[in-house]
Amino acid sequence: MELALDLGIRNTGWSLFRDGHLLDFGIWQTKPVKAVAGRISEQAAFDAFVIACGMKMAFYDYPEISRVIAELPGGSKSAKAAALMKMATGLAIGMCTAHDIMIDWISPRSVKQYAMGDPLATKKKIMAWARKKIEAWAPKPVPKTAGEFEHIADSIAVYYAYKQLHGESLREEKNQSLGSVSGTGRSTGEKKICG
Domain boundaries of the chain, sorted by first residue: 2-165
Which residues, in sequence order, are CB contacts of 182 under 8 Å at separation 6+?
61, 62, 63, 64
Integer Cα distance of 152 and 158 in angstroms? 10
CATH architecture of 2-165: 2-Layer Sandwich (3.30)
CA distances from 120 to 69, 115, 154, 170 (A): 21, 12, 14, 24
Lowest mean pLDDT segment, chosen from 12-16, 79-83, 126-130, 161-165: 79-83
Which residues, in sequence order, are CB contacts of 83 under 8 Å at separation 6+?
none
Check residues 83 and 66 and name the one with the higher pLDDT.
66
Lowest mean pLDDT segment, chosen from 12-16, 142-146, 169-173: 169-173
Query: What order do you get walking across the sheet with 11-18 strand by strand?
Result: 21-29, 11-18, 2-6, 67-71, 102-106
